[in-house]
Chain A
Amino acid sequence: MTIREFRSDIINSLGEGIDDAILDKNAIDYHIGLALNKLKKQFLSKMTAKNDAKGMMDMVSTFVVPVQYDATYEYRYVTLPDEVYDLANGRGINYVSYYRLGLPANCPPQVAKAQFDSTSWRELPMLYADPIQAPSPQRPRYIREPSRMWLFGIDPQMPTVQMGLVLSFDPLSEVNPDLPIPPEILFDLRRMVLSAGNWILLQPQERLLNDGRAFDTGTQKPNPGPAMSVNDPVMVTPASD
């Protein structure tokens, strides 16, 4: 299902189909993105909690990214191509390996050889202290930051790496992207978006009068209540996240 198809149902349900509607289509898509990312995170957390790596394979995107050199820190790094989910044990980054083409036909693919393991700044000194665990071209390591990964032990002759990432959904990046969630979650997604839209429509809207006011004199902003109860099952995150 594409976002336009999903949005069309939301627009019809909320009665916001005319061109002067309160809810702009981009605003609705933004709310779809917010709700979708929350539900997707719940789904992925269940997969990681059960150690079900195969169950999330349909949400992994593969990228080939060039390795860069930071002259300030004198470390190698790659820039993450998009926003990656923050899952337990760093599983938003599904794998990282060298990227190399032109291997002979009977050789295993490069991705089946050395893969990067994650580590942290605190663990790095301990790793380098052990000659067996120290980062090397055969045992490279990465440390993740919000928008980049620092690479240690990487073979300096490898200009690119291949990585599988579990990305968050940016609803505004394309005009009509597919919704990247399993179909069985669409009902919960619809309920969350309709609740958010309903809450917006309960707010008094700005008046289209050129008098510099949003509300009539003397009126108070009402309190319509929460958009969705915190105890609603769709809001509950797994305890084993």
Chain B
Amino acid sequence: MAINTLELKRAMLAQIGAEGTQRYTDARDIIPAMNGAQRRFEALAAPLLADRKGSEESLSELQETRVIQTNIQGGISLDSLWLTPTTTIDYEIWTVIALIAEPTTFPGTYTPMPQPAKSWLRLDRIYQPGGAEERPVKRMTMEQVAAARDNFTQAGNEVLAATGRRTYGYYMMGNRTDNDALLNGSREIVLTPNSLFTTAPPKLVVMSYLRSAPVITQIDANTNIPYPVSLFTIIRDLALNELTPKQGNQTTLYQITEREIGRLLGIQN
């Protein structure tokens, strides 16, 4: 269940005794404070989620699991996933939770999208977990890629790539070209082994990720922040931290630490 913006506003104003006053307006103060709270929360949670696995229920409102068609170089552009030849997704991908190679998808037949330089989010397909051929994709660093290539004990190696013992890995490549004709988009993650992903047709993988919360533009009973209710107090305090310099309060009154975020997300140190 998500956090309603109207309820959040009431809680914020009650905390600083500004309910019923004109001191803080939605457009000038409250909405920017809420957006700032979202940004601050993502900044605090991102390093935790990058290194560790969190509780799956904590951010389930933000989680999406989609079938992705990789580009012809075996990569997925996190900031440029195409839905159609003319439109991309309208949100940002915050963090990748998991990747699954050789998934079973429905419907069964697969026709690659055109323009192999692009990464595609295939809304015409859904992931069917538990397929006989599906394999996990292990996260690795850019430094490990060359070392893992010839090591049969490392994920994504080329030694066993052509056998039934193949394994998969992925790493953050970043931006490797500004030439959209070669590869479209930046902030790319790349999957290994390279030999399996750079041969036509482009491959399907399943990516489970957290999307960034949308920018808040209004406060009403129908506008929600897609974080679980358990984060209500943290989001409130982060928003108040953005708001209360105007009152002259010491900003340390509403400091939220990384540890508190981790505890609530169930991330173990």
Instruction: Contacts A25-B167, A174-B164 given; indicate if A19 touches B143 (C-beta within 8 A).
Output: no
CB contacts under 8 Å to B, within A108-124, are none
B160 at the binding interface (Cβ < 8 Å): yes
- B163 partner residues in chain A, CB cutoff 8 A: 172, 175
Instruction: Contacts A19-B137, A172-B152, A175-B165 given; indicate if A26 touches B143 (C-beta within 8 A).
Output: no
A155 at the binding interface (Cβ < 8 Å): no
CB contacts under 8 Å to A, within B126-144, are 136-144
The CA-CA distance from A35 to B33 in the complex, in Å, is: 62
Which of A186-194, A208-216, A225-233 binds B?
A208-216
Name the residue on A nearest B147 (C-beta): A206
Q: B167–A24 contact, CB under 8 A?
A: yes
The CA-CA distance from A115 to B123 in the complex, in Å, is: 67
- B98 partner residues in chain A, CB cutoff 8 A: 19
- B142 partner residues in chain A, CB cutoff 8 A: 210
B154 at the binding interface (Cβ < 8 Å): yes
A6 at the binding interface (Cβ < 8 Å): no
Number of interface residues of A (CB under 8 A): 17
Instruction: Give chain A nearest CB distance to B145 CB in angstroms.
Output: 11
Instruction: Give chain B nearest CB distance to A220 CB in angstroms.
Output: 22
A30 at the binding interface (Cβ < 8 Å): yes
Number of interface residues of B (CB under 8 A): 21
A27 at the binding interface (Cβ < 8 Å): yes
Q: A30–B153 contact, CB under 8 A?
A: yes
Interface string of A1-40 (1 = CB under 8 A from B): 0000000000000000011100011110110000000000
The CA-CA distance from A172 to B142 in the complex, in Å, is: 27
- A175 partner residues in chain B, CB cutoff 8 A: 163-165
- A30 partner residues in chain B, CB cutoff 8 A: 152-153
- B137 partner residues in chain A, CB cutoff 8 A: 19
Instruction: Contacts A19-B98, A208-B141 given; indicate if A26 touches B164 (C-beta within 8 A).
Output: no
Q: B143–A24 contact, CB under 8 A?
A: no
B205 at the binding interface (Cβ < 8 Å): no
- B165 partner residues in chain A, CB cutoff 8 A: 25-26, 29, 172, 175
Q: B152–A20 contact, CB under 8 A?
A: no
Interface-central residue, A19, A30, A209, by most chain B CB under 10 Å: A19
The CA-CA distance from A175 to B164 in the complex, in Å, is: 6
Interface string of A160-183 (1 = CB under 8 A from B): 000000000000101100000000
The CA-CA distance from A125 to B51 in the complex, in Å, is: 69
- B191 partner residues in chain A, CB cutoff 8 A: none
Instruction: Contacts A26-B152, A172-B152 given; indicate if A20 touches B139 (C-beta within 8 A).
Output: yes
B155 at the binding interface (Cβ < 8 Å): yes
Q: B136–A19 contact, CB under 8 A?
A: yes
- A19 partner residues in chain B, CB cutoff 8 A: 98, 136-138
Instruction: Contacts A172-B160, A212-B143 given; indicate if A20 touches B138 (C-beta within 8 A).
Output: yes
Instruction: Give chain B nearest CB distance to A73 CB in angstroms.
Output: 34
Using a CB–CB cutoff of 8 Å, the interface residues on chain B facing chain A are 51, 53, 98, 136-144, 152-155, 160, 163-165, 167
Using a CB–CB cutoff of 8 Å, the interface residues on chain A facing chain B are 18-20, 24-27, 29-30, 172, 174-175, 206, 208-210, 212
Other than A19-B137, A172-B160, A175-B164, give 9 A-B pairs with Cβ distance below 8 A: A18-B53, A20-B138, A20-B139, A24-B138, A24-B167, A25-B167, A26-B160, A175-B165, A210-B141
The 6 closest A-B pairs by CB, nearest first: A19-B136, A175-B164, A27-B153, A24-B153, A208-B141, A26-B152
